[in-house]
């Protein structure tokens, strides 16, 4: 099968099952709106989580298994012993492409609780996916630039407060919060502009990551450090649909939940220093791991 034919067929199948699941989403969302009882709302969210974290991911994985030509190199922690679907988890990973999401859901399919991604407010306007993000109650990321805060100092801390409130509502339902500490996708231009201290990564932003652990500290049991490597270059969605890249390497590392990591980053100077040191060390190890994986393949 030719490169572009494979891509067109894969894209068509993705559109078909996404539309079907979206229609089911609409019915469940209408039920959620018409029956405002807390138990009915919880049931609706649970059904939508199954549709997204199970049904949609199953269809995506099956499609790529049949039409894709990628060889997966997935390295798990000690016998997957720490992966449980009823334990609150946080996944920290490097971000390079939209393909990262498809890689992530393949790796963790039926292994951890439903995913909750922090999304930018603009993504709510995406066709099909935006309403799904809203219905699934994905936390909305509010981030202000340093220049904006200098002009509007009264808004300082509101972005972190929004993160805290977004995470707190998940304390009664096991979920997996997906966090990209770099805050954006890696590109050579961003790497140079931000003067990253790492070779293959952008500098991590500790504030938002710390607040996730702070908001979920009481129930959080697992932290997974995930490193995704594309040895042949970072693919876009179209290239992925067409069967590229040939190899994808994923390292999953289970991290011990240190209570000191869930302190108040915003007000506790000692906690802030400890967390920054921990995250920078984690990122340094990840940078070295990426270099080793690229050299190995």
**Total count of domains within the chain:** 1
Q: Please state the separation of Cα 155 from the chain's center in Å.
A: 26
Predicted pLDDT of residue 7: 93
Helix, strand, coil tally for the chain in percent (to 5)? 55, 15, 35
Q: Specify the DSSP element, H or E, that contains 20.
A: helix 3-34
> pTM here?
0.86
Tokens of 23: 């229609």
Q: What is the mean pLDDT of residues 23-30?
A: 90
Q: Which of 56, 63, 97, 17 is nearest to 243 (CA)?
A: 63
Q: What is the mean pLDDT of residues 42-59?
A: 90
Per the domain annotation, does 227 fall within a domain? yes
> Can you give the residue range of the structural domain that contains 148?
71-296
Per the domain annotation, does 111 fall within a domain? yes
Per the domain annotation, does 269 fall within a domain? yes
| Torsion of the alpha carbons at 110, 112, 115 and 117, rounded to the nearest 10 | -130
Q: Mind listing the pLDDT tens digit for each residue in 85-110?
A: 778 889 999 999 999 999 999 999 98
How far apart CA 266 and CA 270 sit, in angstroms, is: 10
Count CB atoms within 10 A of the CB of residue 239: 18
How far apart CA 97 and CA 186 sit, in angstroms, is: 8
Q: Specify the DSSP element, H or E, that contains 75.
A: strand 71-75
Q: Please state the separation of Cα 101 from the chain's center in Å.
A: 7
Per the domain annotation, does 255 fall within a domain? yes
Q: Mind listing the pLDDT tens digit for each residue in 134-190?
A: 777 777 766 655 665 566 665 565 656 666 676 667 777 888 888 899 988 999 999
DSSP secondary-structure letter at 52?
A: I
Q: How confident is the model at residue 78 (pLDDT cuts 50, 70, 90)?
A: low
How far apart CA 96 and CA 232 sit, in angstroms, is: 13
Per the domain annotation, does 216 fall within a domain? yes
Average pLDDT, the chain: 85
Half-sphere exposure of 250 (CA within 13 A, CB side): 23
Q: How confident is the model at residue 131 (pLDDT cuts 50, 70, 90)?
A: confident
Per the domain annotation, does 65 fall within a domain? no
CATH number for 178: 3.40.1130
Per the domain annotation, does 10 fall within a domain? no
Per the domain annotation, does 11 fall within a domain? no
Buried-exposed string 97-113: b where 16+ CB fall within 10 A, e elsewhere: bebbebbbbbbbeebbb
Distances (CA, A) of 267 to 140, 181, 228, 252: 23, 20, 33, 32
């Amino acid at each position: 099968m030719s490169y572009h034919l494979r891509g067109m067929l894969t894209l068509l199948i993705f559109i078909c099952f996404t539309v079907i699941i979206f229609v089911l989403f609409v019915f469940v969302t209408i039920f959620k709106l018409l029956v405002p009882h807390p138990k009915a709302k919880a049931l609706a969210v649970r059904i939508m989580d199954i549709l997204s974290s199970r049904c949609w991911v199953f269809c995506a994985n099956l499609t790529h298994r049949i039409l894709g030509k990628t060889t997966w190199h997935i390295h798990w922690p000690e016998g997957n012993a720490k992966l449980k679907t009823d334990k609150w988890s946080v996944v920290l990973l490097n971000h390079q492409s939209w393909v990262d999401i498809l890689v992530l859901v393949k790796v963790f399919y039926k292994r951890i609780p439903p995913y909750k991604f922090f999304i930018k407010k603009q993504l709510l306007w995406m066709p099909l996916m935006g309403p799904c993000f809203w219905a699934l109650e994905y936390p909305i990321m509010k981030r202000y630039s340093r220049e904006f805060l200098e002009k509007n100092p009264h808004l300082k801390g509101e972005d972190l407060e929004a993160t805290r409130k977004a995470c707190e509502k998940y304390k009664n339902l096991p979920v997996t919060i997906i966090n990209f500490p770099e805050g954006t996708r890696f590109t050579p231009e961003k790497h140079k502009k931000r003067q990253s201290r790492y070779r293959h990564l952008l500098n991590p932003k500790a504030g938002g990551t710390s607040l996730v652990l702070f908001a979920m500290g009481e129930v959080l049991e697992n932290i997974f450090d995930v490193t995704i490597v594309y040895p042949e270059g970072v693919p876009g969605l179209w290239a992925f649909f067409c069967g590229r890249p040939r190899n994808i390497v994923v390292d999953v590392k289970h991290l011990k939940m240190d209570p000191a990591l869930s302190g108040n980053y915003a007000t506790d100077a000692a906690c802030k220093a400890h967390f920054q040191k921990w995250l920078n060390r984690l990122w340094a190890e990840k940078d070295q791991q990426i270099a080793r994986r690229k050299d190995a393949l």
